[in-house]
A and B are shown apart, each in its own frame.
Chain A
Amino acid sequence: MNRQQSLTVALLRHAVLLAGAVIMLAPFVWMISTSLKPPNEIFSTDLSLLPRKWFALENYGKAFTKVPLLRYLLNGVIVTAGIFAAQLLVSLPCAYAMAKLRFRGREVMFTLVLVGLMIPAQVPAIPRYVMLYQVGLLDSYAALILPFVVSAFGIFLMRQFFRTVPDDLVHAARLDGCGEFEILWRIMLPLAFPAMVAFAIISVVAHWNDFFWPLVVVQTGDLATPPLGTLFFRNEEAGSDFGPLMAGTVVITAPLVLLFLGAQRRFIEGMTLTGMKG
């Protein structure tokens, strides 16, 4: 290839990719742009990115007062943190036992984990709902957290990771006087940190964004997670007051988007693992 040809290829590549990127990013850009505009500009037909009259304060102010946006975010933090903490607490010991300890039934248990891995999230929804209904826990944090305290994917991921830790390390720890729990706590846990980060990203993204389950179990606005809160907000607005609505969506999407932009590599590595999950 001569230089002129390769320059053409490079220009073509950028042209196509930039056009695509514009489409991919347009919703984000327009969301932010709209959240800064007064109603008359939003309803005008000219396509301007920047507002002629800045209306950010009004839109965001309205978004925070009309619905408890901060409360939604807090709920999101409580639910995702609660779920992830429980998943970690439950999965790590199980994953360690399945990777490094010999006991009868281990293979059967691991098969059950694999079966659990294949079940789509919505399948157990009806019986879970019935169970929560019967113990009177619907419409509570417990209803949002309890169904997800164990993650088949988490057990699977951590087991695969623990299997890569050399057996010699476990043996050395036993000779050094560690019990099984101490091996897990002192040796495996610090080593598993990268895998735990991937697991954390997958779990937090999945449950922060989860819509189906909160929609099913939450009626009270105070318990809404960010996606459900967005819907409440939208329904409240009845599709007319777009400025504050877009301001609200900016606030709701900001945490994960910022997290992603701050830790792109880890995010992408982590999210590609969900490919295994289906």
Chain B
Amino acid sequence: MAAASAAAPAAPSPDDRAEARAGYALAMPAMALLFVVLLGPSLAVVVLSLTDWQLGAPRMNFIGLGNFEQLFADRVFWRSFGNTIVYCLVTVPGSVFLGLGIALLVELAPAGRTFYRAAYFLPVTSTLIAMAVVWEFLLHPSVGLVNLALEAVGVKGIDWLKNPDVALLTLAGIGIWQSVGLNMVLFMAGIQAIPADLYEAAEVDGAGGAWDRFCTVTWPMLGPTTLFVTVVSSIRSFQVFDTVEVLTKGGPNKATEVLLYTMYTEGFSFFRTGYASAVTVVFVLIVLTFTLAQVRLGDRRTHYT
């Protein structure tokens, strides 16, 4: 046979171009819409955060980082920021460790597995606003189930949502109630993915007891899942808004003011568009940090398990 063909590479044939044309035709509507409703507006938020615009105002001035300077000088913003962090610091460990514990218990034996899974998962799918209204009733200082139950065992109840010391923790409690089921099923999937022969190997190697098996096999093998669940929970907790709007409106005395609630009131009650955009930018930067961590962990997860 002759040596390598000397001919120049053939020009793209009509068929290749037809495939590319079909590709564009099928992908373009989605991409255009993605830009109009998601990517464009998200970029616009960044631009708006550099202006002093208020919705309906005729003029818009670029004021550089003025909004951010104002923001960082504002005690309410720092309160809001701090509250969001506290909310996460309670909700994330709470829902992750409870989720893990419940998943371990449920997976211990087949009896009642379906029932427990459904029971714990139910709050995840139910309409949070409606359930928040129910919680408001349950937490009612005089006729609410929670205080009635406490009084039945001799503990004096408190006003869970109006007491500035506990209001944020109460919301965090509802947050845990709502998300623990999702973490549970993620952990259950992780537990089921652990090969059974690892347990057999551990037993042969002398790790016989339940605690030993947990330490030598389950916990190390669940490491990637735990990291993943933690990051996902963090992102979800950071977006807390619904319960705040319905139950406390940020009160009492800003005790439950959180970032998204600040963004909502500035943007849609006071129509300080530029300022609210600056809050959004701060919010998205924090969430993106979590998300990028998640993507990197996700990569690790695919490699290591």
Contacts and interface: CB of A to CB of B under 8 A. Distances in A.
A touches B in complex, CB < 8 A: yes
B162 interface: no
A128 interface: yes
B20 A103 contact: yes
A272 B179 CA distance: 12
B125 A256 contact: yes
B38 A109 contact: no
A84 to B, nearest CB: 15
Given A127-B48, A129-B268, A260-B125, A226 B130 contact: yes
B73 interface: no
B44 interface: yes
B26 interface: yes
A150 B37 contact: yes
Contacts of B119: 21, 24-25
Contact of A212 (B127, B235, B264): B264
B39 A47 contact: no
Interface in B16-42: 16, 19-20, 22-27, 29-31, 33-35, 37-42
A130 B55 contact: yes
B283 A120 contact: yes
Interface stretch (B2-10, B77-85, B87-95, B105-113): B105-113
B143 A127 contact: no
A104 B122 CA distance: 45
Given A106-B23, A230-B130, A94 B42 contact: no
Interface stretch (B194-202, B214-222, B284-292): B284-292
A117 to B, nearest CB: 9
B41 to A, nearest CB: 3
B167 interface: no
A145 B147 CA distance: 41
B111 A257 contact: no
Contacts of B295: 118
B129 A47 contact: no
Interface string A42-53: 110101000000
B118 A261 contact: yes
A239 interface: yes
A6 to B, nearest CB: 9
A257 B121 contact: no
Contact of B186 (A9, A25, A275): A275
Given A45-B143, A234-B246, A257 B126 contact: yes
A148 B34 CA distance: 9
Contacts of A172: none
A227 B129 contact: yes
Given A24-B120, A211-B128, A268-B117, A149 B37 contact: yes
11 contacts: A24-B123, A47-B152, A93-B27, A103-B27, A116-B38, A124-B44, A127-B41, A130-B44, A150-B38, A272-B186, A278-B291
Nearest 10 pairs between A and B by C-beta?
Answer: A124-B41, A94-B30, A103-B23, A127-B41, A227-B129, A93-B26, A101-B23, A103-B20, A127-B44, A180-B22
